[in-house]
A and B are shown apart, each in its own frame.
Chain A
Amino acid sequence: MPLFDALYNFARWLARDESEAEDLVQETFAKALRGFGSFTPGTDFRAWMFRILRNTFLTSRTGLQAKLTVPLEPEVAESTGVTRETPESFALASASREALQSALAELPIVYREAILLCDVEEMKYSEIAEVLSVPIGTVMSRVARGRRLLRQTLASERVVSRGHGKSEQER
């Protein structure tokens, strides 16, 4: 079951809890087996499986809470590009693995799932749109905005940690 690992990783990032992620994966495979007749051969099997998992998560207690705390997001295209060469634009590339994982975990769910599907699972926008049941334009907006939030979080943490270092030296 090669998709098993990818689904589990995605479930852990969504639920942020080991036992809940295990339940999600169990339920996803059970639902996939029960509904295998609804899968259209020739269509994207991976997107189908991820959509089942994601929908299962959204109906879980954690998922419902996450949906209630979703920030207002501009779903239309906006200026999300990296602005020239700034320390912030390199914050993602130069962050430690731990800092990046922590920033990713703190992202609002709508951006976290988009980033995971795009950057970690390397899905195309059309595939992500299928998993999330949203238009491609929304996927583009969420991916770009999610990356920008990650960069901002990592850049601000770096400033804070530098500030701490400085104040400790001054003492």
Chain B
Amino acid sequence: MSCQEWQNRLDAYVDEELPPQEMEAFRAHAADCTGCASAALALLEGKSATRRAGQRYVASAALRASVMASAIAETGTPSATRIQTPQSRVLSWPRWALATAALLLLAGGLFLSINRYRQPSSLAEFADLHVADLASANPVEVVSTDRHTVKPWFQGRIPFTFDIPDLQGSPFTLTGGRVTYFHQEPGAQLLFTYQRHFISAFIFRDTPQLSISGASFVDHSTSFNLQTWTQGGLRYVLVSDVNPDALRQLANLLQHPH
């Protein structure tokens, strides 16, 4: 297949919508063609940037409560109950009980449907941030191996503070840090090295918008290891291609900075 033909398929490639044999054939082609490889990389980064930019609006708690209340009221109205389903003809439960059951069913369906997307998706976004950062010309804004230089640099740039452990005698080296954003929340990104690998440590206020729980996670689409925990109202997320043991070791150091 010619470069032009491949480039007409690039959008489907980055969306993982090509047949498996074509996905493989493009990877083989891109290994020898810097033009197509570069174009695919630009599309992938653009897709990531669009995802981050597109997650822009957050509904108010008042709307959430109002939708719940309206939904219950809606199912309880005569117009709604006029729809004769087999169940409604058979059962003679009170309307409020049917409304609640329907709402629970809907909420349950929603939860089951989206849960498989939401949790990995939120954490996978940190892998995207990590990759995008390493690909940028300036992965860190404050370049220093000194924790007493890096920590004060964040003053006035993010609305919280955190401690960085003394890494002397450990296999990790602090490279620096930068301000980053996740779901419109400012946070800190620290960059560490371990042997020849990079590890990003993301630190954000632990708000419901983060939608993250659990401790560790492997992003199977990228094979990145992720480790996450909360501490003092802050959510920490470590992302790297290092082995999970090394990630746990750094997590332990960050959890006990003094």
Contacts and interface: CB of A to CB of B under 8 A. Distances in A.
A80 B55 CA distance: 25
Nearest to B87: A37
Nearest to B50: A119
Nearest to B36: A84
Chain A contact residues: over half helix, strand or loop, or mixed? helix
Interface string B50-62: 1111111111000
A101 B70 contact: no
Interface of B: 4, 6-12, 15, 17, 34-35, 38-39, 42-43, 45-59, 63-64, 66-68, 70-71, 74-75, 80, 83, 85, 102-103, 105-107, 109-115, 117-118, 121, 181
B59 A115 contact: no
Given A49-B110, A79-B8, A85-B39, A122 B50 contact: no
Label chain B's interface by main secondary structure.
helix
Nearest to B59: A8
A135 to B, nearest CB: 14
B10 A120 contact: no
A49 B249 CA distance: 43
A144 interface: yes
Given A8-B63, A82-B42, A30 B74 contact: yes
Contacts of A93: 42, 45-46, 48-49
Given A33-B106, A120-B51, A2 B7 contact: no
A37 B56 contact: no
Contact of A33 (B34, B38, B103): B103
Contacts of B68: 1
Question: In this complex, which of A2, A6, A91, A97 has the most chain B Cβ atoms within 10 angstroms of its Cβ?
Answer: A2
Contacts of B181: 97
A90 B63 contact: no
B10 A82 contact: yes
Contacts of A21: 57
A124 B45 contact: no
Interface residues of A, number: 58
5 contacts: A9-B55, A9-B56, A79-B4, A90-B42, A119-B47
Contacts of A150: 46, 50
A29 B71 CA distance: 7
A110 interface: no
Contacts of A77: 8
A11 to B, nearest CB: 8
A53 to B, nearest CB: 12
B86 to A, nearest CB: 9
Contacts of B106: 29, 32-33, 36
B222 to A, nearest CB: 14
A116 B113 CA distance: 19
B50 A81 contact: no
A131 interface: no
B56 A13 contact: yes
B57 A8 contact: yes
A34 B77 CA distance: 10
A54 interface: no
